[in-house]
Structure 1
């Protein structure tokens, strides 16, 4: 989720930003419901229904994020190994460390032992960035092996390894990362196939079945048996997204996708402090708190992203600064400018 935006020649493929932004907001939606339920700010019936709705997307949202990240890893590596590693450190590892420290400090104060432990045990929701950085490093080891073979082996391994340190989840998602690498090798052909109406219709059926089963709690997460349904869902999403035309909602999701790191890493603290404010004000339980919390988060994260584009100190919370004689006086790059460097 490094906001690497695809290009087909000179034109941007905006559907990538759209899908990334949609997936991030779906993750935030689930966490918002969970936090509000934990704080007893939602009626039980409303909370249960909202969780059921959010579970519709559980088989697909994290898989699409890692697949989109894998789409451009070959292109990034082609720019040279030093630059490849530096970009991974600046755009993935750095925000993981900074925001892990901030979240730990909020919860436990200055706790060096917990802060050091993020090296081997990812903290809270930031496990995704931890995984993503590991995927980029692991890619260097397996990049000469055919990507479909690596993906298949990773899926099988996810099913047979012991459930230690969330290894099944790690291996399952790494398979989708490698599927993204494989798609990138024939991206134009793949996109042409996936956008055909007949393919969209055919992939919709298993997607709908998986979504319903997940909403009823019938599907295990990150499981080999779910992978075919997840792949169908991703094929459906990529195919259908190519038919979308820009509008207000499309632009909102695409903006979130271009600033996905900011929207992802800030959401736990924004939601936690919002619920703390509710508790301090002793607000009554209401179904309205879910849309209010989600809208407040979007507004807050958007304001942060706008400030980040203009204020170096804020920008440094999300992207590791690199000072040179040429750029140390310059203002932060916009998301589009950063994309050109990645």
Structure 2
């Protein structure tokens, strides 16, 4: 396996798909907790996984960076504006309008603060904008420097979170450039055992209330989790389940921007009729939180509906082939 082919391997999309589904689970669980109180088991699962979800997504995006920066500057920036900046700004406006907070001051924050749950897109856009002019700087050096800087930034601040996640973005780029070394390392049993132990330790600490989230001093736990999933997911056999996860991963941006609205609307309707506390609410919220974005993603994948396409990209800047082609493109979302 070479660094020129790793970004086209289905396990990357499968892993991204799982990470996005866990984001949906997080928001469904949080919505229920706010509405009716703690949900048995779900809150603890979300807390255990919290230190890993976003770093995994950043790492996977970083793995695609080497092939992206190999393009011309015009093609590179056009792609990021079309596929990241455009949906970020558009959906930020949609979310603010739906929440009744479409004020000039709030709109201005979209460009320098990210006032909605779409902060991940804002972060990744900044990382991409910085990565191209720094493309000749060794990504491992960038990763170490960023994680070191995160140690001295204010705890739980937006700046600490951004710098910490940027460290894993560039770490992903380094792993793509050194695939064989990474494979040899994580294939050793003692490395896997240590990696799993590190990940479990950090997850348990977070679930127990220890402040470990996006903290540079606990980056070893995230590295451990990455080692485990990068060993496990390539071993998954092709089938319907992995094909579904790959589809979700390829269109992760659709699920990311469009899942919370259906969840909140469904919960509000259920609360209005006194059903918010029923046992079936979490499955129902997951159903709408996954099902509605799934329908949008399918429409988007056909490229037949311009109005749907415009929700997630600017085709005039970034034209892409249809997924009905014999070899559909992978890892297209972020």
One of 298, 316, 329 as aligned partner of 1:322: 316
For 1:145-160, list aligned pairs within 5 A.
145-160=137-152
Do structure 1's residue 55 and structure 2's residue 47 form an aligned pair? yes
1:88-136 deviation line (CA, Å, top 9, x unaligned):
1111111100100000000115433312221111022100000000001
**Alignment correspondent of 2:61:** 69
Is the Cα–Cα contact under 8 Å of residues 262 and 318 in structure 1 kept in the other structure?
Answer: yes
Do structure 1's residue 115 and structure 2's residue 136 form an aligned pair? no
Do structure 1's residue 313 and structure 2's residue 302 form an aligned pair? no
- 3-state SS of paired residue (2:99): helix
Do structure 1's residue 36 and structure 2's residue 25 form an aligned pair? no
- Provide closer, same or farther for how the CA distance between residues 228 and 338 of structure 1 changes in structure 2, counting only shifts above 3 A: closer
What is the CA–CA distance in structure 2 between the aligned matches of 1:277 and 1:246, rounded to whole Å? 39
Is the Cα–Cα contact under 8 Å of residues 196 and 239 in structure 1 kept in the other structure?
Answer: no
For 1:76-155, list aligned pairs within 5 A.
76-108=68-100, 110-155=102-147
For 1:1-342, list aligned pairs within 5 A.
9=5, 12-40=8-36, 44=37, 47=39, 49-108=41-100, 110-162=102-154, 166-309=158-301, 310-322=304-316, 333-334=322-323, 336-337=328-329
Q: Which runs of 5+ in 2 are unaligned?
A: none
In the comparison of the two structures, how many residue pairs are matched? 328
- 3-state SS of paired residue (1:39): helix
Report the alpha carbon displacement of residue 306 of structure 1 after superposing the two structures with TM. 1.2
What is the CA–CA distance in structure 1 between the aligned matches of 2:199 and 2:30, rounded to whole Å? 25
What is the CA–CA distance in structure 1 between the aligned matches of 2:219 and 2:120, rounded to whole Å? 18
Measured on the aligned residues, the alpha-carbon RMSD in Å equals 2.6
Q: Which runs of 5+ in 1 are unaligned?
A: 1-5
Report the alpha carbon displacement of residue 189 of structure 1 after superposing the two structures with TM. 3.5
**Alignment correspondent of 1:3:** none
Is the Cα–Cα contact under 8 Å of residues 19 and 56 in structure 2 kept in the other structure?
Answer: yes
Report the alpha carbon displacement of residue 196 of structure 1 after superposing the two structures with TM. 4.6
What TM-score results when the alignment is normalised by the length of structure 1? 0.88
Is the Cα–Cα contact under 8 Å of residues 155 and 171 in structure 1 kept in the other structure?
Answer: yes
- Provide closer, same or farther for how the CA distance between residues 163 and 223 of structure 1 changes in structure 2, counting only shifts above 3 A: closer
Is the Cα–Cα contact under 8 Å of residues 148 and 182 in structure 1 kept in the other structure?
Answer: yes
Report the alpha carbon displacement of residue 207 of structure 1 after superposing the two structures with TM. 1.7
